Amino acid sequence: MSTGQATASSNGREARRRHLRTWPGTVGLLSPPLLWLILFFLIPIVIVAAYSVGALSLFPTTQGVSFFDWKHFLSGDSIYIGLFWKSVRMSLTVSVIVVLLAYPVGYFLALVSGKRKYVLLLLIIVPFLTSYLLRVLAWKVILGSEGIINTAVVTLGLRDADHPVQWLIYSQFTVILVLAYVWVPFVALPIFVTLENLDRSILEAAGDLGASRWRTFWRVTFPMSLPGVGAAFVFVFIPTIGEFVTPSLVGGTSGFMYGNAISDLFTQGLDWQTGSVLSLFLVVVVLVLMAIFGRFVQVRSAGAG
């Protein structure tokens, strides 16, 4: 055996020994999160999938495994498909509005506010110290038929007391408004972090080359912040598809969403099979969206590299 082969063999044995020494530590570190994932994500999904095909049932039945609910749901005759697309439209609207409102906030905090940025950041976080339900219910006081806005409108003589502005409460508008209010502070944070980590020398170089602030923003700052904007958009869009608390409180029948249907099927209707079909469909959609977003981020990162 030559000297090179002996050295390679020795290096290989040493690498295997290092691998064997680090394996117990790796298993120890990964076991708790993997156990958590299995217990609280994979097993519940398997149970929901079993309910969706009748393998498990809330009440005793002789039906057995059946894909009827899936066929009905995916056939297009089900009202739940229309409700799902309504929720998608509302979620897209909320996501776009939130990103448009949060981007200037994140931009100001990262690039304009200077030493005051962390004080202003703290002020953005302060509302989270209050209960989510209290903040949503406060909007009922503001938008209700006898709320602050309608009272002001009546006082100014723009409306009669018997004819308040009805669409301010229990409507799709109300759900979109309240969800936008709730999510703007959350979304401002990832945008702030992205802009905070930008290489300032690139922005200075653009200015030295004669680019105006507006041109620098559109040609340099905004393209470099797109990963953060994309993350912020997905951060809002995915949770709001299945939202049901806010529509229950301020949406009424007009603001009824896909998540409300799932909640009602499991609680009031006791139709766990149909509810499981809707739930599993939503899980699949979310996983597909996350896969697409992950692929998009990887492609952008590779392109940037």
Confidence at residue 303, expressed as pLDDT on a 0 to 100 scale: 45
d(CA 239, CA 128): 17
- Compute the distance between CA of residue 232 and CA of residue 94 in angstroms, rounded to an integer: 12
| Per-residue pLDDT at 37 exceeds 50 | yes
Domains and CATH numbers, the chain: 1-52 (no CATH), 67-304 (1.10.3720.10)
Distance of CA 87 to the CA centre of its chain: 13
244 in Cβ contact with 87 (< 8 Å): no
Banded pLDDT at 7 (limits 50, 70, 90): low
Helix (H, G, I), strand (E, B) or coil at 64: coil
- CA-CA distance, 233 to 84, in Å (whole number)? 19
Highest-pLDDT range among 5-19, 86-100, 157-171, 262-276 = 86-100
pLDDT computed for residue 302 by the predictor: 42
Give pLDDT, residue 176: 94
pTM, rounded to two decimals: 0.82
Looking at per-residue pLDDT, the higher value among 31 and 250 belongs to: 250
Counting residues of the chain whose pLDDT is more than 70, the rounded percentage is 85
Phi first, then psi: what are they for 75, rounded to 5°? -75, -20
Which segment of 5-14, 118-127, 202-211 scores lowest on mean pLDDT? Answer: 5-14
Record the tokens describing residue 24, joined without a space. Answer: 């117990």
Instruction: Give yes or no for a contact between 214 and 256, defined as CB atoms under 8 angstroms apart.
Output: no
Sign of the Cα pseudo-torsion (179, 180, 182, 188, in order): positive
Q: Write down the mean pLDDT value for the chain.
A: 83
Per-residue pLDDT tens for 169-197? 899 999 999 999 999 988 888 888 888 88
Q: How confident is the model at residue 101 (pLDDT cuts 50, 70, 90)?
A: very high
Complete DSSP assignment for 177-209:
HHHHHHHHHHHHHHHHHHHHTS-HHHHHHHHHT
Instruction: Report the pLDDT averaged over residues 103-109.
Output: 89
DSSP string of 250-264, one letter each residue: IITTTT--HHHHHHH
86 burial level (CB within 10 Å; 0-12, 13-18, 19+):
middle
For the stretch 251-260, pLDDT in tens is: 888 899 999 9
Residue range 218-246: mean pLDDT, rounded: 88
28-32, 81-85, 173-177: range with lowest mean pLDDT: 28-32
Residue 87 confidence (pLDDT) above 60: yes
